[in-house]
Amino acid sequence: MEKATFAGGCFWCMVKPFEEMDGIIEVVSGYTGGHKENPTYEQVKTGTTGHYEAVQITYDPTIFPYEKLLDIYWPQVDPTDNGGQFHDRGPQYRPAVFYHNEKQKELAELSRKKIETSGRFSKPVVTPILPAATFYPAEDYHQKFHKKNPKEYKEDRAKSGRDEFMTKHWG
Protein backbone atom coordinates (compact mmCIF):
# COMPACT_ATOMS: atom_id res chain seq x y z
CA MET A 1 0.00 0.00 0.00
CA GLU A 2 1.06 3.57 -0.65
CA LYS A 3 -0.12 7.00 0.46
CA ALA A 4 -1.05 10.06 -1.55
CA THR A 5 -1.78 13.46 -0.01
CA PHE A 6 -3.72 16.24 -1.71
CA ALA A 7 -4.91 19.66 -0.57
CA GLY A 8 -7.79 21.18 -2.47
CA GLY A 9 -9.69 23.56 -0.26
CA CYS A 10 -12.26 22.21 2.15
CA PHE A 11 -11.35 18.61 2.88
CA TRP A 12 -15.04 17.67 3.04
CA CYS A 13 -15.21 18.13 -0.74
CA MET A 14 -12.00 16.21 -1.41
CA VAL A 15 -13.04 12.89 0.15
CA LYS A 16 -15.95 11.76 -1.98
CA PRO A 17 -14.21 11.86 -5.40
CA PHE A 18 -11.57 9.37 -4.21
CA GLU A 19 -13.45 6.91 -2.04
CA GLU A 20 -15.27 3.73 -2.93
CA MET A 21 -13.09 2.82 -5.90
CA ASP A 22 -11.28 -0.47 -6.31
CA GLY A 23 -7.79 -0.07 -4.93
CA ILE A 24 -8.60 2.85 -2.62
CA ILE A 25 -8.26 1.53 0.91
CA GLU A 26 -8.93 4.67 2.96
CA VAL A 27 -9.40 8.44 2.60
CA VAL A 28 -8.70 10.49 5.72
CA SER A 29 -9.35 14.21 6.18
CA GLY A 30 -6.65 16.09 8.04
CA TYR A 31 -3.97 18.74 8.21
CA THR A 32 -0.45 18.88 6.81
CA GLY A 33 2.38 21.25 6.01
CA GLY A 34 2.22 23.43 9.09
CA HIS A 35 4.40 24.22 12.08
CA LYS A 36 2.10 23.27 14.98
CA GLU A 37 2.10 19.70 16.28
CA ASN A 38 -1.28 17.99 16.61
CA PRO A 39 -3.33 20.97 15.43
CA THR A 40 -7.07 21.14 15.94
CA TYR A 41 -9.61 22.31 13.40
CA GLU A 42 -10.18 25.44 15.48
CA GLN A 43 -6.46 26.25 15.23
CA VAL A 44 -6.08 25.40 11.54
CA LYS A 45 -9.13 27.38 10.46
CA THR A 46 -7.51 30.59 11.76
CA GLY A 47 -4.92 30.25 8.98
CA THR A 48 -2.04 30.83 11.42
CA THR A 49 -0.66 27.27 11.81
CA GLY A 50 0.66 26.96 8.25
CA HIS A 51 -1.36 23.79 7.68
CA TYR A 52 -3.36 22.90 4.62
CA GLU A 53 -6.67 21.08 4.93
CA ALA A 54 -5.90 17.90 3.02
CA VAL A 55 -6.85 14.31 2.39
CA GLN A 56 -4.50 11.39 2.75
CA ILE A 57 -5.34 8.40 0.61
CA THR A 58 -4.11 4.88 1.23
CA TYR A 59 -4.22 2.96 -2.01
CA ASP A 60 -2.97 -0.15 -3.76
CA PRO A 61 -0.88 1.07 -6.70
CA THR A 62 -1.22 -2.26 -8.50
CA ILE A 63 -4.98 -1.70 -8.72
CA PHE A 64 -5.24 2.10 -8.69
CA PRO A 65 -2.03 3.79 -9.89
CA TYR A 66 -0.94 7.21 -8.68
CA GLU A 67 -1.54 8.70 -12.14
CA LYS A 68 -5.25 7.92 -11.78
CA LEU A 69 -5.30 9.71 -8.42
CA LEU A 70 -3.79 12.78 -10.10
CA ASP A 71 -6.40 12.54 -12.87
CA ILE A 72 -9.09 12.74 -10.18
CA TYR A 73 -7.32 15.47 -8.18
CA TRP A 74 -6.82 18.19 -10.79
CA PRO A 75 -10.49 18.61 -11.79
CA GLN A 76 -11.42 19.06 -8.11
CA VAL A 77 -9.40 22.27 -7.72
CA ASP A 78 -8.75 25.63 -9.31
CA PRO A 79 -5.01 25.20 -9.87
CA THR A 80 -4.65 28.92 -10.65
CA ASP A 81 -5.80 30.09 -7.20
CA ASN A 82 -3.29 30.01 -4.35
CA GLY A 83 -5.44 32.13 -2.00
CA GLY A 84 -7.87 29.35 -1.17
CA GLN A 85 -10.39 27.37 -3.13
CA PHE A 86 -13.74 28.65 -4.26
CA HIS A 87 -15.59 30.27 -1.33
CA ASP A 88 -13.06 28.95 1.21
CA ARG A 89 -10.36 31.60 1.49
CA GLY A 90 -7.10 31.61 3.39
CA PRO A 91 -3.83 29.68 3.48
CA GLN A 92 -5.43 26.61 5.05
CA TYR A 93 -7.49 26.16 1.85
CA ARG A 94 -4.64 26.41 -0.69
CA PRO A 95 -4.28 23.58 -3.20
CA ALA A 96 -1.14 21.42 -3.21
CA VAL A 97 0.07 17.98 -4.18
CA PHE A 98 2.28 16.42 -1.50
CA TYR A 99 4.57 13.69 -2.80
CA HIS A 100 5.75 10.74 -0.69
CA ASN A 101 8.55 9.57 -2.99
CA GLU A 102 10.49 10.65 -6.07
CA LYS A 103 8.22 8.74 -8.46
CA GLN A 104 5.16 10.59 -7.12
CA LYS A 105 7.04 13.88 -7.45
CA GLU A 106 7.93 13.14 -11.07
CA LEU A 107 4.37 12.07 -11.95
CA ALA A 108 2.84 15.08 -10.17
CA GLU A 109 5.16 17.49 -11.97
CA LEU A 110 4.35 15.88 -15.33
CA SER A 111 0.62 16.07 -14.67
CA ARG A 112 0.88 19.73 -13.62
CA LYS A 113 2.86 20.50 -16.78
CA LYS A 114 0.12 18.83 -18.83
CA ILE A 115 -2.48 21.07 -17.14
CA GLU A 116 -0.30 24.16 -17.71
CA THR A 117 0.10 23.49 -21.43
CA SER A 118 -3.48 22.37 -22.04
CA GLY A 119 -4.80 25.88 -22.64
CA ARG A 120 -7.62 25.09 -20.20
CA PHE A 121 -6.81 28.09 -17.98
CA SER A 122 -6.10 31.71 -18.85
CA LYS A 123 -4.10 32.27 -15.65
CA PRO A 124 -0.89 30.46 -14.63
CA VAL A 125 -1.11 27.18 -12.73
CA VAL A 126 0.26 27.91 -9.26
CA THR A 127 -0.52 24.69 -7.35
CA PRO A 128 2.76 23.58 -5.77
CA ILE A 129 4.19 20.06 -5.71
CA LEU A 130 5.64 19.71 -2.20
CA PRO A 131 7.32 16.99 -0.13
CA ALA A 132 4.89 15.24 2.19
CA ALA A 133 5.00 16.44 5.77
CA THR A 134 3.48 15.04 8.94
CA PHE A 135 -0.21 14.40 8.39
CA TYR A 136 -2.56 14.87 11.32
CA PRO A 137 -6.01 13.28 10.97
CA ALA A 138 -8.84 15.73 11.58
CA GLU A 139 -11.34 15.24 14.36
CA ASP A 140 -13.82 12.36 13.97
CA TYR A 141 -16.74 14.62 13.05
CA HIS A 142 -14.84 15.69 9.89
CA GLN A 143 -14.24 12.13 8.69
CA LYS A 144 -16.69 11.07 5.95
CA PHE A 145 -18.60 14.27 6.60
CA HIS A 146 -20.57 13.91 3.37
CA LYS A 147 -22.06 10.65 4.69
CA LYS A 148 -22.62 11.75 8.29
CA ASN A 149 -24.13 15.14 7.37
CA PRO A 150 -25.38 14.84 3.79
CA LYS A 151 -27.70 17.86 3.93
CA GLU A 152 -25.03 20.22 5.30
CA TYR A 153 -22.45 18.80 2.88
CA LYS A 154 -24.71 19.33 -0.14
CA GLU A 155 -25.61 22.87 0.96
CA ASP A 156 -21.97 23.84 1.54
CA ARG A 157 -20.86 22.33 -1.74
CA ALA A 158 -23.71 24.00 -3.65
CA LYS A 159 -22.79 27.48 -2.41
CA SER A 160 -19.03 26.97 -2.83
CA GLY A 161 -18.87 27.42 -6.61
CA ARG A 162 -16.77 24.27 -6.96
CA ASP A 163 -19.22 22.38 -9.17
CA GLU A 164 -19.74 25.34 -11.52
CA PHE A 165 -15.97 25.71 -11.89
CA MET A 166 -15.55 21.99 -12.60
CA THR A 167 -18.27 22.08 -15.26
CA LYS A 168 -16.83 25.19 -16.91
CA HIS A 169 -13.23 23.96 -17.06
CA TRP A 170 -13.54 20.18 -17.18
CA GLY A 171 -16.96 19.55 -18.75
Output 139-146 pairs: Cβ under 8 A, ≥24 positions apart.
Answer: 139/40, 139/41, 142/11, 142/12, 142/29, 142/41, 143/28, 143/29, 144/15, 144/19, 145/12, 145/15, 145/29, 146/12, 146/15, 146/16
**Which DSSP helix (H) or strand (E) runs through 8?**
strand 2-8
Q: Cα(152)–Cα(113) distance, rounded to whole angstroms? A: 36
The set of catalytic residues is 10
Assign 44 to helix, strand or coil: helix
What residue type is 40 in one-letter code?
T
**Which DSSP helix (H) or strand (E) runs through 72?**
helix 66-73
